[in-house]
Chain A
């Protein structure tokens, strides 16, 4: 016997026999009978719809067998399931055409998140302390029904409120129908980075209360005023696909691209030329370009039509917007204004885009209207390489329901109602919450949490215990998007009408229920039933899609759409949302007004810009570990909060990379690490929104800081939208780097070690 065998022998007879009993022997594994037949190891691709933003991208989901841990009848075991494995962009989807952004790919972690709420929960502790006990669906629904019956008996149906994130969808139609039939006001919609100002401007300028679809693929010159169209705004995958074509997809032709903004966004980083204008003066620059174009007789003033007529002084050639005057207001050199104007007028087709920070000022509507007029002046509306509006199916009409009057402006988000039929949340007796989290995304001074504290009964349909759900008395967890019928009606991203739809990709992992189905069931169980004409959400979808013409000769529209993951095509007559809204009667022309900022410039010397982070948007995705660990495109930061500051300003204040800063407005203060970057004006500091969750699963809770907390309650007056770029702050260094800023880059990965 050689030495090796001896060691083997002793080990086998002695040690290993003793150790084999440590841990759970695999032989006692309990297996449950699978619910479906699955060929092991073979991938099946199924259509899906991305739920993370309003873009409504189509997915193709790789589904394979996997062994899931489950509990059945109180017994723990495993069961073979057909599990989603990977999300990819659907190759033929009219919006995303095969691509998918980082966030969309991480969406699969929503379904498999370890802190998902797995069953209905009833509050067992004080509001906000996160103690809940399990409750059956039957008891939970009975509880909701009795509350609603109570309102009905008291004739107080208007005390039912619904809070959601908006966007056109069949789900939203169902919610509206539910509320209308019950006698409650329409849902209150809150979205921190909503585009209400731009929609209102487009309604005014072009008669379309809608986000634009930019035909970048055919444009020769793109002038973007703050729009992060490659990163976080509108339909980023569709826009990035078109951007790739604009740059290198046309033999011998390369489109030019200039970005106007005072903090360089991911999109601005790709521009040929980056033009920092003073915050809130971007509209003046747009009118300066229009002035030069008209003065040089490159285009007549009349070319802008209705969009131009809205601007004060347009017909006179905008005499108060000479390049010199524009330089004085915006800080952009007069010669540059002239050059940009000539480029914009001569490199046809050219298109201007506006969104994001320029519209988040008190004069945001002016800025948007000014850029719209500039587009109209050069004839870029509904022309190749210009601005289009995706035709919209009137979902309510397709279902033969009456809905919100087409084109009526969306009601602003308010905590307390003004008119009796206004949406609200603060005066509710019963509040239902679907998706929105204003506790995190609204300025602290609005007092959303105090208003919610007065609501006696809050029901959340959330899947995670975030700042909003933790205030709920009852949580009725929704299925994940892969477990339920999903649909979206993209507002933008294609030049034909699109409706994405997909059947469930996999069976529900837990005791959750699809929220639309829960609403339908509650509607049936009420003492006075709501008589919604569908038993289940997929019946409603079937009815809606049946009204559309089929895109395939072999199948009806509903069958075809399910197979492809989307319906697209021309809108049948009678089902379109109004192609053009009438011009507002005797609209007063809009003139430039100085943007108002909260905080005295002496005491609060910096503009403060909270911006949607590439990873988390408004923070609703901070619970996904892939996105936490994805390096930020401009700073390479992971798992962190940071403040971007210009190196010159930092030097003046004695601030070094990674130092802990305090950012204080008149309404609150936050702390985060400094990142020195040349891509920001010296009188501005910027912070990504997304971190700083008090509670939002193990990956996001207590991590970093939330810049929204310090925002002032400034609004754009016409829409009531939060002017989130209108707060001024002071910046002070409170300490050396504390190791919380984690960067991936910096020459070698050892960069961070050097700082420790």
Chain B
């Protein structure tokens, strides 16, 4: 708007009477390579909102059919892949780098292993879907580490993973489920222990 005045070297006031809208908008054309988009806490799709309202979690579809039973059967400890579980709040879903620690050498003739090796070579990771976990609207902050220290078995909340291939949502993480256990173990049940 003032470009002409500026080019002519004239002073130009950039203060103008309030327009109908002073909303924030990028001025000028967007530059190449800039990230876009907005992050909000709203659900990504209308369908997700409806599912949320009906308390109907979506069925996770995993990128590969990971056999938990085989790995647990070979005595691979849970925290080998879910390495944050005894250190902090999140157990974590392993990246393909973790898989390749063993599978660079082990069972390299299996088609599924060759599949993930090829994926890794393309720079692609396994896009795991969460099986458990809370929605943002639950305002729950769960911390794994103190539960591990209190010797709560993984199976208490996650079912017997040794009998599952792909992890299933076999335990419903309702608030009652948490509070019952906290009461039994005389752990605190104050709201802000979890909700903040």
Contacts and interface: CB of A to CB of B under 8 A. Distances in A.
Interface of A: 8, 11-12, 15-27, 29-34, 37, 39-43, 65, 69, 72-73, 77, 79-80, 114-119, 121, 128-134, 444, 447, 449-450, 465, 510-511, 641, 667-672, 692, 694-695, 697-699, 701-702, 704-706, 709, 735, 738-740
B13 A40 contact: no
A131 B27 CA distance: 11
Given A31-B127, A32-B124, A116-B34, A709 B11 contact: yes
A131 B3 CA distance: 14
A285 to B, nearest CB: 36
Contact of B83 (A39, A72, A129, A699): A39
Contact of A8 (B54, B92, B93): B54
A130 B36 CA distance: 18
A219 B105 CA distance: 69
Nearest to B1: A702
Contact of A69 (B24, B37, B47, B144): B37
Contact of A118 (B22, B28, B34, B46): B34
Contacts of B91: 40
Contacts of B7: 128
A641 B15 contact: yes
A465 B27 CA distance: 10
Nearest to B82: A40
A74 B126 CA distance: 19
B29 A22 contact: no
B87 A42 contact: yes
Nearest to B23: A698
A130 B28 contact: yes
Contacts of B31: 115, 117-118, 121, 130, 132, 465
Question: Chain B, interface size: which category?
Answer: 35 or more
Interface string B28-54: 110111111100000011111011001
A77 B126 CA distance: 12
A114 B34 contact: yes
A119 B127 contact: no
B97 interface: yes
Given A31-B125, A31-B126, A11 B45 contact: no
A114 B89 CA distance: 29
18 contacts: A16-B56, A17-B47, A20-B47, A23-B44, A23-B45, A26-B58, A30-B124, A33-B95, A39-B84, A40-B92, A114-B35, A118-B31, A119-B33, A121-B31, A465-B31, A670-B15, A695-B27, A705-B15
Given A20-B45, A669-B13, A705-B15, A41 B88 contact: yes
Contacts of A449: 6, 9
B84 A40 contact: yes
A444 B9 CA distance: 9
Given A31-B127, A118-B31, 15 more contacts: A16-B51, A20-B45, A26-B129, A31-B126, A32-B123, A33-B120, A33-B123, A41-B89, A65-B92, A80-B95, A80-B125, A121-B31, A130-B29, A449-B6, A695-B28
B125 A33 contact: yes
B26 interface: yes
A116 B13 CA distance: 26
Contact of A41 (B35, B50, B51, B90): B90
Contacts of B144: 41
Contacts of A669: 11, 13
B84 A699 contact: no
Contacts of A671: 13, 15
When A and B form their complex, which 5 residue pairs have the shortest distance between CB atoms, in order from nearest?
Answer: A41-B90, A23-B45, A20-B47, A40-B92, A130-B28
A30 B126 CA distance: 8
A450 B9 contact: yes
Contacts of A65: 92
A16 B14 contact: no
B185 to A, nearest CB: 23
Nearest to B11: A668
B87 A19 contact: no
A444 B11 CA distance: 7
Contacts of A15: 50
Scoring A15, A23, A73, A116 by chain B CB atoms within 10 A of each residue's CB, the highest score goes to A23
A705 B96 CA distance: 53
Given A19-B50, A40-B84, A738-B17, A79 B125 contact: yes
B47 A510 contact: no
Interface in B100-144: 120, 123-127, 129, 144
Contacts of A25: 45
B84 A12 contact: no
B32 A133 contact: yes
A707 to B, nearest CB: 11
Given A32-B123, A511-B33, A694 B14 contact: yes
A325 to B, nearest CB: 41
A477 to B, nearest CB: 10
A16 B47 contact: yes
B97 A41 contact: no
B124 to A, nearest CB: 6
Nearest to A116: B34
A117 B26 CA distance: 13
Contact of A740 (B18, B26, B37, B126): B18
Contacts of B127: 29-31
A115 B33 CA distance: 10
Contacts of B36: 114
Interface string B50-65: 1100101010010000
B84 A42 contact: yes
A324 B13 CA distance: 45
Contacts of B54: 8, 11-12, 16
B88 A39 contact: yes
Contacts of B84: 39-42
Contact of A129 (B3, B92, B95, B129): B3
Contacts of A117: 31, 34
A359 to B, nearest CB: 27
B9 A510 contact: no
B150 interface: no
A15 B46 CA distance: 10
B167 to A, nearest CB: 16
Given A20-B45, A32-B125, A33-B120, A698 B2 contact: no
B24 A699 contact: yes
A33 B26 contact: no
B25 interface: yes
Contacts of A77: 124
